[in-house]
Amino acid sequence: MSQYLSDHVHLGDDLTSVVILDQTLLPNRVEYLTLREPEEMFEAIRLLRVRGAPAIGICAGYCLAALAQQRKDLKPDEFRQELHRLAQYLNASRPTAVNLSWALNRLGKRAHAMPDADPPAAAAALREEAIAIHQEDIAMCRAISEHGLALIHDGDGVLTHCNAGPLATSQYGTALGPLLLGKERGMNFQVFADETRPLLQGARLTSYELHNAGIDVTLICDNMASMVMKNGWINACFVGCDRVAANGDAANKIGTSGVAILAKHYGIPFYVLGPTSTIDLSCPAGDDIQIELRDPEEIKSKFYAQPMAPAGVKCYNPAFDVTDHSLIAGIVTEKGVCRPPYTQSLAALFA
Ligand code: MRU
């Protein structure tokens, strides 16, 4: 896999910055950004320069570690207060993907576990924790890819929505992982990628990643999914997730629940793939998941040479929706495939 696909978020050599591939510029430009200030980090997550639930978590971990290193000469109590403040600040950048708070809490717990450490030692420990989150994600994606690959056959048609590939994670990805792994093993799939309005992650990122990997990918508008299913071209749907509730309801990119409803109609298995870091057992059901609302301009004018709606028209722009657990054939994690009833199978992952 090419370098920038698998190493698009990392700590700067000076240990006080974070380097990211700016995903908003893809597929036309491959440019890296160096983030030093908390505001730059917040903005990079908020504007989807770095996006995808696991990648947001990895990035947030590195951001807090870099900010801790910058502040290592503070007095111990000031250092800890600053850490707390900065973690809260970064956590407010996006609400839906649980990996953001999960990663920041993990670093917070690490700092808490060493109350007598001086700031340089605490900053080094946070760096170690951030690197561990990244390394673990690589291993989790690889395991998810293996479990997902066992659900499909050579030659199958697979439909995916949004982007849950290496750019959204570390390596391989979740929903795209089985396809990339299968390709490495000489298998061929016909992949249909929903373009994913309004921010076009499917067009800009998924078709880019799969095409670069030599996978047969066909880009479709979101409203064409029913047609390709009806044509008999789809054997399975693979999507990622941003937060999975204890009952198996799964939040993912807006439009995902519509794909699941269509898949049910056509008798096509619909799988959600994600690491256990995306499962939130403290959240009982999908209704408890906060859905991010974004700027209406993403619908009306972004990507268009001129506005495509009248000035002042009302818009509703939720970034995610929740797929009901009854529509999901399996939730594929690094530990294996959870099947209904999800309340039991998901809880067993953490037992
Ligand atoms: O708004 P985005 O681009 O961050 O949304 C991304 C998704 O919805 C992905 O499917 C999800 O985060 C899983 S990524 C492995």
| Secondary structure of residue 239 in the 3-state scheme | strand
Rounded distance from Cα 225 to ligand 1 centre (Å): 19
User: Residue 320: beta bridge partners?
Assistant: 253
Provide the edge-to-edge strand list for the sheet that holds 32-35: 9-11, 18-21, 32-35
CATH 1.20.120.420, applies to 3-141:
yes
- Output the CA 162–ligand 1 centroid distance in Å: 7
Q: What pLDDT is attached to residue 1? A: 46
**Is residue 15 predicted with pLDDT exceeding 70?**
yes
**Rounded Cα–Cα distance for residues 111 and 122 (Å):** 6
How far is it, in rounded angstroms, from Cα 200 to Cα 23?
11
Whether 252 is in the pocket of ligand 1, judged by its Cβ within 6 Å, is: yes
How many Å apart are CA 42 and CA 93, to the nearest integer?
A: 6
Nearest residue (by CA) to ligand 1, atom 8, is 253
CA of 251 to the centre of ligand 1 (A): 9
The closest of 348, 318, 273, 282 to 102, measured between CA atoms, is 282
Assigned token pair, 309? 């709606």
Which residues on adjacent β-strands are paired with residue 220? 194
pTM of the full predicted structure? Answer: 0.97
121 alpha carbon – ligand 1 mean position (Å): 34
**Banded model confidence at residue 6, pLDDT cuts 50, 70, 90:** low
The pLDDT assigned to 51 comes to 98
Probe target for ligand 1 pocket from 241, 270, 292, 294, with the most ligand atoms within 8 Å of CB: 241
* pLDDT at residue 4 in the model: 42
d(CA 249, CA 309): 33
Segment 201-209 mean pLDDT = 98
pLDDT over threshold 90, residue 118: yes
pLDDT band, residue 321 (cuts 50/70/90): very high
Tell me, in angstroms, the distance from the centre of ligand 1 to residue 116's CA: 38
Listed in sequence order, the residues at least 6 apart from 213 whose beta carbon sits closer than 8 Å to its beta carbon are 1, 180, 183
pLDDT of residue 5: 57
Q: Residue 332 pLDDT more than 70?
A: yes
Q: Which secondary structure element, helix H or strand E, spans residue 42, and what is its range?
A: helix 38-46
Q: Tell me, using a 6 A CB cutoff, whether residue 242 lines ligand 1.
A: yes
Ligand 1 pocket check: which of 51, 167, 259 to mutate, most ligand atoms within 8 Å of Cβ? 51
Give the rounded percent of residues in the chain with a pLDDT score beyond 70: 98
3-state helix, strand, coil in the chain (%, to 5): 45, 15, 40
Rounded CA gap, 142 and 276, in Å? Answer: 13
Ligand 1: atom nearest CA of 278 is: 13
- Please compute the mean of the pLDDT values over residues 319-339 and round it to a whole number: 98
The tokens for 38 are: 């908390």
In which order are the strands placed within the sheet that holds 243-245?
279-280, 243-245, 250-253, 320-323
Segment 238-255 mean pLDDT: 98
Residue 288 is a catalytic residue: no
pLDDT mean over 270-296: 98
Evaluate: CB of 48 within 6 angstroms of ligand 1: yes
Residue from 71, 67, 69, 68 nearest 37 by CA: 67
Residues 6+ apart with CB under 8 A from 29: 22
96: Cβ below 6 Å to ligand 1?
Answer: no
Test site for ligand 1: of 201, 243, 298, most ligand atoms within 8 A of the Cβ:
201
Cβ of 240 closer than 6 Å to ligand 1, yes or no, is: yes
Average pLDDT over residues 67-91: 97
- Residue 2 pLDDT: 44
Distance CA 317, CA 256 (A): 14
pLDDT value of residue 30: 95
Let me know: does 332 contact 144? Beta carbons within 8 Å: yes
Q: What percent of the chain has pLDDT over 90?
A: 98
Domain with CATH 3.40.50.10470 in the chain: 148-349
Q: Residue range 311-332: average pLDDT?
A: 97
DSSP per-residue codes, 162-222: S--SGGGSSSS-SSSHHHHHHHHTT---EEEEE--TTTTHIIIIIHHHHHHTT-EEEEE-G
User: What's residue 7's pLDDT?
Assistant: 82
Write the CA distances from 126 to 9, 229, 260, integer angstroms. 16, 47, 39
Judge if the beta carbon of residue 157 lies within 6 A of ligand 1.
no
CATH code of the region 148-349: 3.40.50.10470
Nearest to residue 151, comparing CAs of 347, 312, 328, 345?
328
Atom 6, ligand 1: which residue's CA is nearest? Answer: 52
Residue 241 Cα to ligand 1 midpoint, Å, equals: 6
Q: Which ligand 1 atom is nearest residue 320's CA?
A: 8
Q: Which of 137, 156, 242, 321 is catalytic?
A: 242
Measured distance between the N- and C-terminal CA atoms of the chain, rounded to whole angstroms: 35
Q: What is the pLDDT of residue 3?
A: 39
Q: What are the residue ranges of CATH 1.20.120.420 in the chain? A: 3-141
Instruction: State the CB neighbour count (10 A cutoff) for residue 159.
Output: 26
